[in-house]
Structure 1
Amino acid sequence: MLNEAIEYLKSYDGPQINIMEVCGTHTHEIFRKGIRKILSPKIKLISGPGCPVCVTPVSFIDEARYLAEQGVTICTFGDLVRVPGSDGSLADSRAAGGKIKVCYSPMDAMEYAKEHTDEEVVFLSVGFETTTPSDVLSVKTAMDEGVSNFSLLTANKTMPNAYLVLKDSMDCYLYPGHVHAIIGTGICEELAANGVSGVVAGFTDKELVLAIAVAVKNAAKRKGYVDGVYSEDLAKENENKGFFVNCYPRVVKAEGSPKAVKLVDEFMEPSDEIWRGIGLLEKSGMKLKEKYKAYDARVKYNIPAFTAQGNKGCRCGDVLQGKILPSDCPLFGKACNPDHPVGACMVSDEGACSAFYMYN
């Protein structure tokens, strides 16, 4: 089956098919496994907004730097330390004497707060549906154990509204397997019923190749092509029909993870969120509910509003929306590189610019 899929992708000669791999891990794995090299020129992969660090807005970094300047200990994943704000990064805050601690999970941050009661500790809660349950669990544990010097600065995002906003950028989504392991496939079925196509993909080379082959075959059929032969009747029949295929059934189930969803729903509620380079998307984020405001850093420290924008020459937003390749940005590989990143997409290990720089 794998060999057949590889041959199909190599020899494909139907209509142009544009596939958006939403997940940053997919972007890097596709490069790392050499999958782009086997694709027909008529198959185009587009990198989307599936890197949580990349879509974290400038204003969030400014908020975190503000807290560091107030003497708050900032706990964060390593990638965020170098993401540019409007006037510097958390690395600059650390150089100026701010306490910036890299940790591997929100529970690590909570434990640090528990052991350092003389410090106010804020964890930078950044991520999609995959990591939000662990953020919530850290708050629940802090409450249960009476840890009052711990809170979250949230920039949690949810994918469904982003899918809707970007639906015209491609023929088919390569949906992130880990996100749908949490939220299930209901949203994918709903999108397909409304003409938006996609396949859920795993992360091994075999899983990715098979998922891309399924995506191409179904997308071509939707345009009226089967085995390179065009049928006007088939094209008309499928004109407004989306399709969905779960190519990662060993992990992704229709119901997702009800326990994780229930935990998040208990502590959080939808919020309008800014996505770097894309703008404000309604109900595309999650914030702590009012009754848990003691663990909401914005409320706890009365953080002022920050509205600054990033470097105007950086085209991360266009990259995240699939409008351009990273290499089309005039800063790529010149003013912007992994040692001196101008945009978030060059910083993160899941960023598209980082992938193009590393593997090209």
Structure 2
Amino acid sequence: MATEADDLKFRDPEAAQELAADIERQMERIDHPVEIMHVCGSHEQVIAKFGLRSMLPSDLSVTMGPGCPVCVTNMPEVDEAVALAEAGTTVATYGDMFRVPGTVKSLADAKAEGAAVEVVYSASEAVEYAAAHPDEDVVFFATGFETTAAPTAAVLQADPPENFYVLSAHKYVPPAMEVVAEMPDTDVDAFLAAGHAATITGYGLFEEFVDEYDTPVVVGGFEPLDVLYGVRRILEFVESGTSGLDNAYPRCVSRDGNEAAMSAIDEVFALTSGEWRGIADIPDANFVLREAYAAHSARRQFDVDPVSGDGDPLTEECICGDIMAGTATPEDCALFGEECTPQNPVGACMVSDEGTCKIRHEYGGHPEL
């Protein structure tokens, strides 16, 4: 083939057309609908922003699964952060968590009522804030997948200030992929895995999944050509009727990943079962601090007693969980673009820049370009 992963340029319209033509021919040979699920908000941004769905055959579906860390952060976890802020601690968190609703209110609501909430861009910035404000108890509301769990682990290994604590809502993606693969309402033929997470974990992590579920997995990058190449590689597996694992992002991802980062994660965190908002209680999918780091655990050092409520009645109509599981689209939601907009989000999928609903609201779904 003229276009291989090692030869890709970041933006090359001719190469994109070549890949699209390859995909068209593959689908003609396969002669049945194919559903690919990617598990990354960054992939969805690229697909939507560059109109890639308009380049794909109509019988090829590329949908987003539970790849938005903000979206899968459970409402009681937000309630915990709000309770800590209202009790007098300073809560530092990423900007896309600021407006995510809990069962009663968001951190933005708590700040508007006088609580101390700081938006930070990294775990290390939260540590710097704690060091500069030694009279404050500073809790870092830590969210995200493996890519952000690693820096959280690193700052805890580096002997942070005594007034620095972590409220972990970090999530681990592979068990969620297993849940989606087992859902009776999903019919996923293959997965396009997130390249940045695999930069940490390595692509070898998916070998067991491929064997267990007999489903192809291809790790892909985040340029338009990366995505198209990843789709083409997936269709090679589908066409041959085999499962398999491939790394379509070799400039960043290796089989074993970043061993130092994984060592840090393993030292600092243990895995436990936990609820992913709107999806399920997933075994071994939540990162919690190990006993050795209990001195910096917000859950161990503070009496976290969040007030839980029924939430906004509109949230009962929100179908974010179904959207993240790939069994519904934003257009299936009666609230989408009406009661629920980026300016007035009802569900977490409309809050984060990686949320399916916010991306769909900004760029549309399947444009005719």
Check whether TM > 0.5.
yes
Output aligned runs, 1:341-352, within 5 Å: 341-352=345-356
Give, in whole Å, the separation in 1 of the partners of 2:32 and 2:19: 18
| Structure 2 residue 215 is matched with structure 1 residue 200 | no
Q: The residue matched to 2:218 in structure 1 has which SS?
A: strand
Give, in whole Å, the separation in 1 of the partners of 2:104 and 2:48: 33
Give, in whole Å, the separation in 1 of the partners of 2:280 and 2:295: 28
| Structure 2 residue 232 is matched with structure 1 residue 219 | no
Aligned to 1:303: 304
Counterpart of 2:201 (choices 178, 183, 206) is: 183
Asked whether the 8 Å contact 1:59–1:308 carries over to 2, the reply is no
Q: The residue matched to 1:155 in structure 2 has which SS?
A: strand
Greater shift, 55-64 or 3-12, is seen at 3-12
Asked whether the 8 Å contact 2:79–2:306 carries over to 1, the reply is no
Mind listing any 5+ residue stretches in structure 1 that lack a counterpart? 223-237
Counterpart of 2:107 (choices 90, 108, 111) is: 90
| Structure 2 residue 271 is matched with structure 1 residue 279 | no
Tell me by how many angstroms 1:216 deviates.
Answer: 2.3
The superposition leaves residues 308-340 of structure 1 with CA deviations (integer Å, 9 ceiling, x where unpaired) of 666211100000100001111111111111000
Mind listing any 5+ residue stretches in structure 2 that lack a counterpart? 4-14, 365-369
Aligned to 1:38: 55
Tell me by how many angstroms 1:9 deviates.
Answer: 2.8
Aligned to 1:114: 131
Give, in whole Å, the separation in 2 of the partners of 1:98 and 1:271: 30
Aligned to 1:5: 19
Tell me by how many angstroms 1:218 deviates.
Answer: 1.9
Aligned to 1:227: none
Give, in whole Å, the separation in 2 of the partners of 1:178 and 1:55: 18
Q: The residue matched to 1:211 in structure 2 has which SS?
A: helix
Aligned to 2:153: 136
Counterpart of 1:56 (choices 73, 80, 94) is: 73
Paired residue type of 2:70 = V
Aligned to 1:229: none
Asked whether the 8 Å contact 1:54–1:276 carries over to 2, the reply is yes
Aligned to 2:292: 291
Tell me by how many angstroms 1:305 deviates.
Answer: 6.3
TM-score, scaled to structure 2: 0.89
Q: The residue matched to 1:319 in structure 2 has which SS?
A: helix
| Structure 2 residue 141 is matched with structure 1 residue 124 | yes
| Structure 2 residue 359 is matched with structure 1 residue 358 | no
Give, in whole Å, the separation in 2 of the partners of 1:72 and 1:160: 33
Tell me by how many angstroms 1:279 deviates.
Answer: 2.1
Asked whether the 8 Å contact 1:181–1:257 carries over to 2, the reply is yes
Greater shift, 290-299 or 5-14, is seen at 5-14
Aligned to 1:161: 175
Paired residue type of 1:186 = G
Give, in whole Å, the separation in 2 of the partners of 1:315 and 1:306: 24
Asked whether the 8 Å contact 1:121–1:151 carries over to 2, the reply is yes
Tell me by how many angstroms 1:153 deviates.
Answer: 0.4
Asked whether the 8 Å contact 2:146–2:200 carries over to 1, the reply is yes
The superposition leaves residues 105-136 of structure 1 with CA deviations (integer Å, 9 ceiling, x where unpaired) of 01101111011011110011101111111001
Q: The residue matched to 2:328 in structure 1 has which SS?
A: coil
Counterpart of 1:22 (choices 35, 39, 47) is: 39
Asked whether the 8 Å contact 1:59–1:309 carries over to 2, the reply is no
Asked whether the 8 Å contact 1:58–1:309 carries over to 2, the reply is no
Greater shift, 102-111 or 265-274, is seen at 265-274
Paired residue type of 2:321 = G
Give, in whole Å, the separation in 2 of the partners of 1:276 and 1:182: 24
Give, in whole Å, the separation in 1 of the partners of 2:290 and 2:211: 32
Give, in whole Å, the separation in 1 of the partners of 2:89 and 2:266: 28
Aligned to 2:96: 79
Tell me by how many angstroms 1:198 deviates.
Answer: 1.2
Give, in whole Å, the separation in 2 of the partners of 1:18 and 1:307: 38
Give, in whole Å, the separation in 1 of the partners of 2:307 and 2:283: 19
Give, in whole Å, the separation in 1 of the partners of 2:326 and 2:95: 26
Aligned to 1:329: 333
Greater shift, 210-219 or 308-317, is seen at 308-317
Tell me by how many angstroms 1:10 deviates.
Answer: 4.0
Moved over 6 A (4+): none
Aligned to 2:262: 261
Paired residue type of 2:334 = P
The superposition leaves residues 270-301 of structure 1 with CA deviations (integer Å, 9 ceiling, x where unpaired) of 11121001121111111111121111101111
Asked whether the 8 Å contact 1:17–1:220 carries over to 2, the reply is no
Give, in whole Å, the separation in 1 of the partners of 2:123 and 2:36: 33
Paired residue type of 2:219 = V
- Identity percentage of aligned residues: 37
